[in-house]
Structure 1
Amino acid sequence: MKDIAQDIVPYRPEEPQPLLRQIPAGKAYPVEALGPLKEVVQAVQNKTQAPIEIAAQSALSIASLATQAFGDVEWQGGVTPCSLFMLTIAKSGERKSSCDKLLIEQVRVHERDGLSSYAELNLRHTTELKIWEKQHDKLLVSALSAKPAEKQAAEAKLETYPPAPLAPIAPHRIVAEPTFEGLVKLFKIGQPSLGLFTDEGGSFIGGYAMSKDNMLKTCSELSKLWDGSPISWSRSGDGTTTMYGRRLASHIMLQPVAARPVLANPLVVNQGFLARFLICEPKSAIGTRTRREYRPESDLEIAKFGKKLQALLEQEPPLKANTRQELEPRKLTLTPEAKELLLDYAEATELGQKDGGVYADVTPFASKSAEQALRIAGVLTLWESLDADRISAETMARGIDLAEYYLHEAKRLVDYALVSDKTTRAEAVRTWLLNKWAKPEVLPSDVVQHGPNALRDTKLAIEALTVLEEHGWLIRVAPDELVRGARRKLAYRLADGARLLKRNS
């Protein structure tokens, strides 16, 4: 007779379902599309062994800073600036700063050289202004106290007195971690073309400018700068400041932990601010950088880039007549072939935004992708020659290849980051239960009193516990069961599979 025990299948608890999925791998970076920047990007990558995407982000953003003052590109019956906003997401240790430092060094040198003469000019201006104020006050007193027969002549002297001497223009080209007020102040006293560059993007994103009270204002005003719109800023006591003809390029570097909440923030995404950035998160190179030497030619390419950058920084930008700081970039047009390529790409990205389309979940990014392609093509054109007046089909194709890569990156990263806040909080409770909670049952009050700091609210605690129940991590205790000597309105215990994981962890 067959032994019945042989047919008994041992009980094995079902494993709970994961809450968070792995982020999918991105596409290969289209290095060939960088055109005149390709060689220096490969040189920086060769020297630092950083992901090539990081080197490309640095090169494009710095090239944009150097060229944005000189040309706008024709777009939809008007023009759009050649300003690029870049956002690089990478862990600490990926050598983000190393890439930027190699390429931005000449900007720093240019600033340092300018600051020494700026200090002297400022001192001279202070003296000249005091003399002017003294003379002006003297004429004012004379006009106010003049006898009727002499009043007209005294007032004429006051009216024809030269205006106050203008302060020298500050030589700064780069701003790091500003408030928008700080950025406006620098635009007011300094160069009309600036760059917002920071390798500590978490400080900017988590700072005053992007605080809960200031986020909408900062996003709105920075978006206007990307668009090339005038800067208009009002402060009590200072009146309204309006500045025309300003340009801003940007490269913000963020660690993944700081980037996820930004990518998932509806205000930042849907308002269109984030869609103005070319975003990438490259595959980590940490643990693979074992090469001890780099090609000597890399130093030559980086030096060549620096020399060209210096020449562009020293070039006087086109200014509107009778102004000192209002840029008037000339218009770059497209060849007929380049225009056809751009229109085809714009149509493809538009169709991809319809319901069920490949870009339906990232419409802010898709709707700006053709314009991004045009801006990139403008930067590459001007980097090759400031005298260029047209964008070729070849360069337009490069811009499209790069813009398409960044659109795919945005879709990949935003889709992943759109894990709801609810799921993120549930994951924090799950980790806490497995690693720190010792009792067999858990109540909402346990989470509120002892759980993660973000869950010190009963409603949020119940929400997180419900998500864990739905994913098989918890089982709800029946209302008639005793939990710690009392019947509870709502209580849970770890499911068998979760208890097994807890024992083995």
Structure 2
Amino acid sequence: MSDVIAIKPEQDLQPLPLIPEAIKSEPYPLDALGAVLGNAAKIIAEGIQVPPAMAGNSVLAAAALAVQHIANVNIDGRSYPISLFCLTIAESGDRKSATDKCALAPAKQAQAKLQSDYKASVKCYQDDIQVFEKEKKLILNNKKLGPDETRARLHELKEPIAPKQPNLLADEPTIEGLQKSFAKGLPSQGLFNDEGGQFFGGHAMSAEQQLKSAAGLSRLWDGSDQARTRAGEGESMFICNPRLSVHLMIQPIVAKRVLSDPILSGQGLLARFLIVAPESIAGTRLYNGMDISQKPAAQRYRQALSKAHDIEPSLDENGNLQPRELPLSAKAKMSWIKSYNAIETAIGNHQELGNIKAEASKAAEQTLRIAAVLTLIENPDATSITNETISSAIVLIGYYLNEQLRLQKQIEVNPELANANELYQWLINKGWQNFNLRKVCRNAPRFARKAKDARALLELLEEYNWIIRLPKGVDIGGKPTKEAWRLTNAI
């Protein structure tokens, strides 16, 4: 019997699709961000040369951080924080860091000022502590005082309060780290990381910590009180009414794992994120020499966010954040109710938003949050949300829901076919004319390093006519090989 495997005529080999053709994202509605944020996002997109969706998500997240301490949004007696969680998916080299740096410039400036003020406050605090201890010692050493009078004098002494740590921005904390940061620092903070894979691949999202971290972050999005009980001295804490805005930027390979993670999806954390995944524009970014800092739109953006950051938070007698309430105008409320009802109708079984029920169920609240952010950026003293602004927020949430639908369809792709497609793209990039199983296993992506996994994927590619099996014993690298293939129509 011949060892040669029969090969179909190559002209008859028509590759079959492994995965559905990618659905392109819709244009990000930058105008709906308003004059300050929308024009800034346009300048960032043009100057840094990034997709508008990346610029839009970045400025929206930075704006939420700037104003979340000012107000809650209120409708029919229900009060919601206006913090936002944003997630941007983009390839390495798509200028995530440059975009994030530009959008966060006002926050970085605010943090630098806080750190400078903190140093001066610490010096005053240390001086006050010395005075306090000296007065305390005088009272305790005063032998003319009886026990009751000693206690009364000590009670009258006001022990100095340590200044809050100036931790406005964090980039990769654990949930425990965040809780400590809120306990000792500012009541309004941001978790921003342009390499979000470090967060999702770090200790906070390890197998042992993932559920706790997801639950903790979800509670922070809700603005819920945080209680932490520990046996160690000083380890127990209670954090009242914290505010946290988040923007994480991750690569598609990380997003693929994150968005399909059953714990992150089932627990509800992902449903709280506003997600964009724009197509890369690499290859079109010819040098333009634009100095963004000199553009009026960028200057107005920095001024508006800096003004918001400078507004002192309203605190209760215990030092807990107590934002004012920001209601909707009568017309804005009517528009929001109409949007609310339309979304609710669309999340029923077999309806348009049925496959993203968790995300769509948060959409009405997200609309309120976005509208409040847009309102306060334009006017920090605003007393209500206008119909124009709520309409803009409805446009934005419509975009985010469509993006979720698009990404959900990509997640639903058969994982074996998705891996086969990724392996094929990798083979194309390697430029190999022919290859054997051993060569693939030695160099392939991690999911195809084991022989049985690589063989299964190569057989799928063969079945779908993307590669052709070569005769047994063919020479690869100077040695005969049992299993070898080449790309269909490869020369």
Same structural fold, with TM-score higher than 0.5 when normalized by the shorter chain: yes
**Alpha-carbon distance between aligned partners in 1 of 2:286 and 2:444, rounded to the nearest angstrom:** 42
Q: Which residue of 2 aligns with 1:265?
A: 261
How far is the alpha carbon of 1:366 from its aligned partner? 0.8
Most deviating of 458-467 and 104-113: 458-467
Residue 209 (1) aligns with residue 204 (2) = yes
How far is the alpha carbon of 1:155 from its aligned partner? 3.6
Residue 80 (1) aligns with residue 80 (2) = yes
In structure 2, relative to structure 1, the CA distance for the partners of 1:371 and 1:278 (3 Å cut) is same
**Alpha-carbon distance between aligned partners in 2 of 1:209 and 1:223, rounded to the nearest angstrom:** 14
User: Which amino acid in 1 is paired with 2:267?
Assistant: Q
User: What's the TM-score, normalizing by structure 1?
Assistant: 0.81
User: What's the TM-score, normalizing by structure 2?
Assistant: 0.83
User: Which amino acid in 1 is paired with 2:283?
Assistant: G
Residues 418-452 of structure 1, C-alpha deviation per residue, up to 9 Å, x if partnerless? 3355555555777899979626xx9xxx9999986
Q: Indicate conservation of the 8 Å contact 1:102/1:302, yes or no.
A: no
Most deviating of 416-425 and 300-309: 416-425
How far is the alpha carbon of 1:92 from its aligned partner? 2.3
Q: Indicate conservation of the 8 Å contact 1:261/1:417, yes or no.
A: no
Q: Structure 2 matches for 1:72-471, cutoff 5 A?
A: 72-75=72-75, 77-130=77-130, 132-133=132-133, 136=136, 150-158=146-154, 160-237=155-232, 238-290=234-286, 292-294=288-290, 299-320=295-316, 322-324=317-319, 326-419=320-413, 421-424=415-418, 438=436, 453-454=446-447
Q: Indicate conservation of the 8 Å contact 1:192/1:327, yes or no.
A: yes
How far is the alpha carbon of 1:454 from its aligned partner? 4.3
How far is the alpha carbon of 1:181 from its aligned partner? 1.9
Match of 2:221, SS? Answer: helix
Q: Indicate conservation of the 8 Å contact 2:10/2:489, yes or no.
A: no
Residues 312-354 of structure 1, C-alpha deviation per residue, up to 9 Å, x if partnerless? 222212222x133x21111111122211211121122222222
How far is the alpha carbon of 1:78 from its aligned partner? 0.9
Q: Which residue of 1 aligns with 2:18?
A: 19
**Alpha-carbon distance between aligned partners in 2 of 1:108 and 1:315, rounded to the nearest angstrom:** 16
**Alpha-carbon distance between aligned partners in 2 of 1:500 and 1:46, rounded to the nearest angstrom:** 42
Where does structure 1 lack aligned partners over 5 or more consecutive residues? 1-8, 476-482, 485-492
Q: Structure 2 matches for 1:57-68, cutoff 5 A?
A: 57-68=57-68
How far is the alpha carbon of 1:501 from its aligned partner? 2.7
Most deviating of 242-251 and 416-425: 416-425
In structure 2, relative to structure 1, the CA distance for the partners of 1:432 and 1:304 (3 Å cut) is closer
How far is the alpha carbon of 1:112 from its aligned partner? 1.7
User: Which amino acid in 1 is paired with 2:314?
Assistant: P
In structure 2, relative to structure 1, the CA distance for the partners of 1:132 and 1:418 (3 Å cut) is farther
Q: Indicate conservation of the 8 Å contact 1:353/1:366, yes or no.
A: yes
Q: Which residue of 2 aligns with 1:32?
A: 31
Residues 18-50 of structure 1, C-alpha deviation per residue, up to 9 Å, x if partnerless? 433342101111122111322222222232222
- 1:501 paired residue among 446, 466, 487: 487
**Alpha-carbon distance between aligned partners in 2 of 1:266 and 1:420, rounded to the nearest angstrom:** 16
In structure 2, relative to structure 1, the CA distance for the partners of 1:44 and 1:456 (3 Å cut) is closer
Q: Which residue of 2 aligns with 1:6?
A: none
How far is the alpha carbon of 1:394 from its aligned partner? 0.9
How far is the alpha carbon of 1:17 from its aligned partner? 3.9
- Bigger-Rg structure (1/2): 1
How far is the alpha carbon of 1:363 from its aligned partner? 0.9
User: Which amino acid in 2 is paired with 1:162?
Assistant: L
Most deviating of 254-263 and 419-428: 419-428
How far is the alpha carbon of 1:402 from its aligned partner? 0.3
**Alpha-carbon distance between aligned partners in 2 of 1:88 and 1:452, rounded to the nearest angstrom:** 24
Most deviating of 193-202 and 10-19: 10-19
**Alpha-carbon distance between aligned partners in 2 of 1:251 and 1:428, rounded to the nearest angstrom:** 28
**Alpha-carbon distance between aligned partners in 2 of 1:80 and 1:18, rounded to the nearest angstrom:** 46
Match of 1:72, SS? Answer: strand
How far is the alpha carbon of 1:416 from its aligned partner? 0.7
How far is the alpha carbon of 1:375 from its aligned partner? 0.9
Aligned residues: 468
Q: Indicate conservation of the 8 Å contact 1:230/1:246, yes or no.
A: yes
Residues 175-196 of structure 1, C-alpha deviation per residue, up to 9 Å, x if partnerless? 1111122222221222211111
Q: Indicate conservation of the 8 Å contact 2:436/2:485, yes or no.
A: no
**Alpha-carbon distance between aligned partners in 2 of 1:401 and 1:382, rounded to the nearest angstrom:** 18
Match of 1:258, SS? Answer: helix
Match of 2:487, SS? Answer: helix
**Alpha-carbon distance between aligned partners in 2 of 1:49 and 1:473, rounded to the nearest angstrom:** 35
